[in-house]
Structure 1
Amino acid sequence: MRSRRDNAWVQWGVFLGVAALLSALVWAGWSVINHRPLIPFGNAGTEDATTVKIGVTDMPESLDIRPSASSEASESAADPTAIDTVSPAERLLIGNVYETIVTVDQQNRLQPGLATKWTVTNDGLTYTLTIAKNVTFSNGHTLDAADVVWSLQQAVNGQAANQTTNQSAGNSIGSRDTNSLGSLASVANPDATTVVITLNQPNPTLLRTLSGKLGVVFDAEVGSADYATKAVGSGPFTVRDFRSGQSLTLARNDEYHGTKAASAAVTMTKYDSDTALMKALQSGDIELAQNLGADAAASLQSESAKASTTSGITVTKGATTSKVMLAYNHGTDSLLSDEQARKAFRYQIDAAGIAGSQAGSNGALGGPISPLESGYEDLTGLFPYDTAQAQSMFGYFGDQYLTTVNLVVTERWRTLAETIKQQIEQGPRPNVNLEVLSDADYAARIQAGTWEMTLMSMDGTDDAGLFVDGNGPFHYDRAEAQQAYASARAATNDADYAERMKTYARLLSEDAAADWLYTRACFTAARSGVSGYPTALTDQRLPLANVRID
Structure 2
Amino acid sequence: MSHRNRSSIRPWIVFTVVLVVLVLAAGGAFLLLRPHGGSPFGGRSGAHITVGLRSKPSSLDIRTNGERAVEQALVDNVYQTLVTMDSERAISANVAARWSESTDGLRYSFHLREGATFADGSPLNASAVVASLQRTIQGKQVGADDLKHVASVENPDETTVVITLHEPNPRLLEALAGRAGVIINPNAHDADFAHTSYGSGPFTVSSFTGDTIELARNERYWQDKPALARVTLRYMPSDEALVGGMRDGSLDVALPQGAQAASELAKIDGVQVSDGISTRKTLVAFNNAGSSPFSDEQVRQFTRFAIDAAQIARTQPDAKAQLSGPISQLQPGYEDLNALFPFDLERAQSMRWYFAAGYFTPFTLLTDKAHHDLAQRIVDEMAAIPMPVTLEVVDSATLASRVAAGDYTCALIEMDEPHDYTRFVDGSAMFGYQNGAAQEQYAKALAQTDFASYREQLRAFDRIVSQDAASAWLYTGKDVVATRSHVQGLPVDLTSWRLPLAHVRA
TM-score for both structures, normalised by structure 1: 0.80
In structure 2, C-alpha distance between the alignment counterparts of 1:530 and 1:228, rounded to whole Å: 30
| Residue of structure 2 aligned with 1:194, choices 160, 173, 178 | 160
Q: 1:227 to 1:505 in 2, by over 3 A?
A: same
- Report if the CA contact (8 A) 2:144-2:180 is conserved: no
Q: Which deviates more, 318-327 or 512-521?
A: 318-327
Instruction: Output one character per residue of 1:18-58: Cα deviation in whole Å (capped at 9) or x when no partner.
Output: xxxxxxxxxxxxxxxx999xxxxxxxx99633211111112
Q: What is the number of residues matched between the two proteins?
A: 468
In structure 2, C-alpha distance between the alignment counterparts of 1:341 and 1:154, rounded to whole Å: 50
Is 1:96–2:61 an aligned residue pair?
Answer: no
| Residues 536-547 of structure 1 mapped to structure 2, 5 A cutoff | 536-547=493-504
TM-score for both structures, normalised by structure 2: 0.87
| Residues 350-499 of structure 1 mapped to structure 2, 5 A cutoff | 350-428=308-386, 430-461=387-418, 463-471=420-428, 473-499=430-456
Structure 2 residue matching 1:135: 3-state secondary structure: coil
CA RMSD of aligned residues (A): 2.3
Is 1:265–2:262 an aligned residue pair?
Answer: no
| Residues 14-163 of structure 1 mapped to structure 2, 5 A cutoff | 48-66=45-63, 69=64, 71-72=65-66, 76=67, 87-157=68-138, 159=140
Quote the offset at 1:270 in angstroms: 1.2
| Residue of structure 2 aligned with 1:232, choices 194, 198, 212 | 198
Letter in 1 for 2:312: I
Structure 1 residue matching 2:478: 3-state secondary structure: strand
In structure 1, C-alpha distance between the alignment counterparts of 2:330 and 2:293, rounded to whole Å: 33
Q: 1:247 to 1:479 in 2, by over 3 A?
A: same
Structure 2 residue matching 1:548: 3-state secondary structure: coil
In structure 1, C-alpha distance between the alignment counterparts of 2:423 and 2:107, rounded to whole Å: 26
Q: 1:367 to 1:448 in 2, by over 3 A?
A: closer
- Tell me the residue number matched to 1:13: none
Identity of aligned pairs, percent? Answer: 41
Q: Which runs of 4+ in 1 moved over 3 A?
A: 45-48, 398-401, 460-463
- Report if the CA contact (8 A) 2:44-2:225 is conserved: no
- Report if the CA contact (8 A) 1:182-1:206 is conserved: no
In structure 1, C-alpha distance between the alignment counterparts of 2:451 and 2:458, rounded to whole Å: 10
- Report if the CA contact (8 A) 1:335-1:405 is conserved: no
Instruction: Output one character per residue of 1:379-425: Cα deviation in whole Å (capped at 9) or x when no partner.
Output: 11111112222122222334554122332222222221111111111
In structure 1, C-alpha distance between the alignment counterparts of 2:226 and 2:316, rounded to whole Å: 36
Q: Which deviates more, 224-233 or 465-474?
A: 465-474
Unaligned runs of 5+ in 1: 1-33, 37-44, 77-86, 163-176, 304-309
In structure 2, C-alpha distance between the alignment counterparts of 1:521 and 1:481, rounded to whole Å: 29
In structure 2, C-alpha distance between the alignment counterparts of 1:294 and 1:394, rounded to whole Å: 36
Structure 2 residue matching 1:48: 3-state secondary structure: coil
- Report if the CA contact (8 A) 1:52-1:548 is conserved: no
| Residue of structure 1 aligned with 2:306, choices 343, 348, 359 | 348
Q: 1:286 to 1:118 in 2, by over 3 A?
A: same
- Tell me the residue number matched to 2:245: 280
- Report if the CA contact (8 A) 2:287-2:410 is conserved: yes
- Tell me the residue number matched to 1:336: 294
Instruction: Output one character per residue of 1:314-346: Cα deviation in whole Å (capped at 9) or x when no partner.
Output: 111212232221111222222212111111111
Quote the offset at 1:157 in angstroms: 4.1
Quote the offset at 1:522 in angstroms: 1.1
Q: 1:178 to 1:402 in 2, by over 3 A?
A: farther
In structure 2, C-alpha distance between the alignment counterparts of 1:539 and 1:333, rounded to whole Å: 38
Unaligned runs of 5+ in 2: 1-34
